[in-house]
Chain A
Amino acid sequence: MYAQMIQSEASQDDPQKLAEFQARIDADIKIEPRDWMPEGYRKTLIRQIGQHAHSEIVGQLPEGNWITRAPTLERKMILLAKVQDEAGHGLYLYCAAETLGVSRDDLTEQLLSGKMKYSSIFNYPTLTWADIGAVGWLVDGAAIMNQVPLQRTSYGPYSRAMIRICKEESFHQRQGFDIMMKMAQGSEAQRRMAQDALNRFWYPSLMMFGPSDADSVHSTQNMAWKIKMNTNDELRQKFVDQTVPQAEFLGLTVPDETLSWNEEKGGYDFSEPDWSEFFDVLKGNGPCNTERLEARNKAWDDGAWVREGLLAHAEKKRARKTAAE
C-alpha cells in the first residue's frame, strides 16, 4: 500500500452531472481520461497515483542499498530485476497520472520539495541482507493487499496500471519470502538476522495501511468513487491474518505479545503500531527521510546537465531534419 491518508477533495460540481458520474461508477463502468469527472475526483486521483509513483521511485533506494552487496550472483540478478520493475511501475503510474492533466516533472518537483509524500515505509533503513527479504515479504505483501483490489478501481488508466503491477508484485513477494526462508533455515547468525528484520519491519509494515479510517469522511468519499476499495483496518487485518502463519512457518516470532487468534472473528487480535511514530515519519522525522530526499534531489540536480543535453540534441536533430526537407 503505497498511498497513505489520501484526503478527498470536495466537489462543487453540477449535482446532475455528479449523479450521472456516480451511477457510472456504481455500474462498474470505467472512467476514461476524456470523460467528464468531478474536479475532486481528478485531484484526489492525482494525489493518490502521484504518491504511489513516488513510492516506487523512492522505494528503489533501500533495496538499491543492497544490490552491490547481494550475496550471490543469482540474488543480485533477482534484486536488480525487482528494482528495475519498481522503476517501471513508477513510469506506468506517472503516465496514468499524466492522463489527468499533470506532468511528470510537476509531480517530481513536488516530491523533491517535500510537498508530496511517498509511503512512510521507505524511510526505514535496510541494515542487513535479511531486510531485503523482509521488504519483499512484508512490504510488498502489504502493498499487494491494497493493489489487488485496486485493479478494480474506477479510473481506467489506474486500473490497467495496477493489473500490470500486481503481476510483478507477487513475484517480488515470493522472492522476499524465499530469502527469509534461506535465512531462517541457515546459520545461527542468519536466523538472528531474519528475526531482527521481522522485529524492525513488523510495525512499520502495519503502518503502511494508515491509521483507522472507518469513520473518515475522506475514506467514505474515496470508497464511493472506487478510488479506495477497502478500509485501512480491513486491509491491515487481512495482512496480519495472512502473514502470521507465514512467520510461524519460518520459525520466526512476530514481535507482538498480545497477538492471538480470535475464533469469533476468524482473525487475529493484534497490537496497533505506535501511531505517534507514524506521524513523526510523515512529518519528516523518520530514520531515513533526510537521506531519501537528499538522494533523490542529488540525482535530479546532478542529472540536470544530462536532461538539458539530450533535449538540446533532440532539438538540433529536429532543426536539421526540417532544414533538409
Chain B
Amino acid sequence: MAQNNTHLAEFLLRMGDNALILGHRTSEWCGHAPVLEEDIALANTALDLIGQTQLWLTYAAEVMGDGKTADDLAFLRDVWDFRNLLLVELPNGDFGHTLMRQFLFDAYQSIHLPRLVRSTDPRVAEIAEKASKEASYHVERSADTVVGLGDGTEESHNRMQAALDRLWPYVGEMFATDPVDAAMAEAGIAPDPASLRTEYDALVGRVLAEATLTVPESTFAHKGGRTGQTHTEHLGHLLTQMQWLQRAYPGATW
C-alpha cells in the first residue's frame, strides 16, 4: 500500500472504530434504560453508529486492498489494531456517565463531520454527509440530557459532575495531532484535529455551563487509542464479547 493510502486507511479505521466501539457500548443498554423513550433513543443512537461503522470500515477495507471486508476488520482484529479513542471504550457506568460520554463524543463529531463534508476525498465527503446529519441530532439530544440532569436534582447534578470529572481526561486525545492527521490535513482529506479545539471548547463550555457543571481544570489527557499505541484493559473484554461467534466458528456465514 502506498504511503498516502496507509495514512488514509489509518484515518478511516479511526473513524470506523470510534463508531463501532461506542455503538457497541451504547447497545449494551438495550432493555435496561431508565425510561422507555431512552431505550428507544439509545438503540437508535447505536444503530446510527453501527451504520456509520459499516461505511467507514468498508471504505477502509477497500483502501487497504487486501481482500478484507468491513466485517473482517470489525470481528477479526485484536486490541492492538484498533484505532478508537480511549473515551469510547470505557465501560458505561451509570446512565449519567453514558450520556456524558455520548455528549463529549457527539460534540466532537458535530464539529468534525461537517468539515469532512468538504473533504477532497469524495467517499469521505459522502459518508460524512450522512453521518453529520445523525451527529447533529445526537448532540442535540445528549446536550439536552446533560443539561437536564446537571441542572436537575442535587443527586443528578452530583452524578453528572462525577461523570464529567471521570471522563474529562479522555477528551484531550481527540485533538492530539500525529503524522497521520498531518498527512490528511495536507491532502485536504480531513482537518487537523488540533484546529477543532477552540470550537469544541466553546460548544462544550456553553452546554456544561447551562448544566451548572464545572469543567475540570486539569489539562492532562490519556492518549494512545487512536494511534494504536495503547488501549485500556476494557477493550479486550469488549472484543471478546463482540467477536465471539466469528472467532468460535471461523469462516461460517451468518
Contact = CB atoms under 8 A, between A and B. Distances in A.
A57 B40 CA distance: 11
Given A77-B51, A307-B35, A186 B40 contact: no
A88 B31 CA distance: 12
Given A88-B40, A312-B156, A316-B151, A80 B31 contact: no
A312 B43 contact: no
B249 A69 contact: no
Contacts of B241: 68-69
Interface string A72-90: 1111110011011001101
A68 B27 contact: yes
Contact of B148 (A80, A295, A310): A310
A299 interface: yes
Nearest to B24: A68
A90 B94 CA distance: 24
Interface stretch (A9-17, A59-67, A162-170, A199-207): A59-67
A187 B252 contact: yes
A69 B248 CA distance: 12
A190 B252 contact: yes
A104 B156 CA distance: 23
Contacts of A127: none
Contact of A186 (B155, B242, B252): B252
Interface in B26-65: 27-28, 30-40, 43-44, 46-47, 50-51, 53-54, 57
Contacts of B34: 299-300, 302-304, 306-307
B153 interface: yes
A71 B27 contact: no
B246 interface: yes
Contacts of A104: 36
A129 interface: yes
Contacts of A311: 152
Interface string A284-325: 000000000001001110111111111111101000000000
Given A129-B254, A295-B31, A299-B32, A84 B155 contact: no
B242 A68 contact: yes
Contact of B152 (A84, A94, A302, A310): A310
A189 interface: yes
B40 A71 contact: no
A91 interface: yes
B96 interface: yes
A160 interface: no
A189 B40 contact: no
A298 B34 CA distance: 9
B245 A91 contact: no
B196 interface: no
Given A64-B31, A73-B50, A305 B39 contact: no
A298 B32 contact: yes
A197 to B, nearest CB: 14
For chain B, the bracket of interface size reads 35 or more
B211 to A, nearest CB: 9
A68 B51 CA distance: 15
Contacts of B35: 303, 306-307
B95 interface: yes
B149 interface: yes
A193 to B, nearest CB: 9
A94 B252 contact: no
Interface in A107-144: 129
Contacts of A302: 34, 94-95
Contact of B31 (A83, A94, A306, A309): A83
Contacts of B43: 80-81, 83-84, 87
B143 to A, nearest CB: 13
A306 B24 contact: no
A67 B156 contact: no
B167 interface: no
Contacts of B51: 77
A76 B155 CA distance: 35
A58 to B, nearest CB: 8
A309 B152 contact: yes
B31 A61 contact: yes
Interface in A31-83: 57, 60-61, 64, 67-77, 80-81, 83
A174 interface: no
A237 to B, nearest CB: 33
Given A68-B27, A303-B34, A187 B249 contact: yes
Given A305-B153, A305-B155, A90 B36 contact: yes
A218 interface: no
A30 interface: no
8 contacts: A73-B54, A76-B27, A183-B254, A295-B32, A303-B33, A307-B34, A310-B148, A312-B156
Interface of A: 57, 60-61, 64, 67-77, 80-81, 83-84, 87-88, 90-91, 94, 104, 129, 179, 182-183, 186-187, 189-190, 295, 298-300, 302-314, 316
Interface of B: 20, 24, 27-28, 30-40, 43-44, 46-47, 50-51, 53-54, 57, 70-71, 74-75, 94-96, 145, 147-149, 151-153, 155-157, 159, 241-242, 244-246, 249, 251-254
Which 4 pairs show the lowest CB-CB distances between chains A and B? Answer: A303-B34, A309-B156, A309-B152, A60-B31
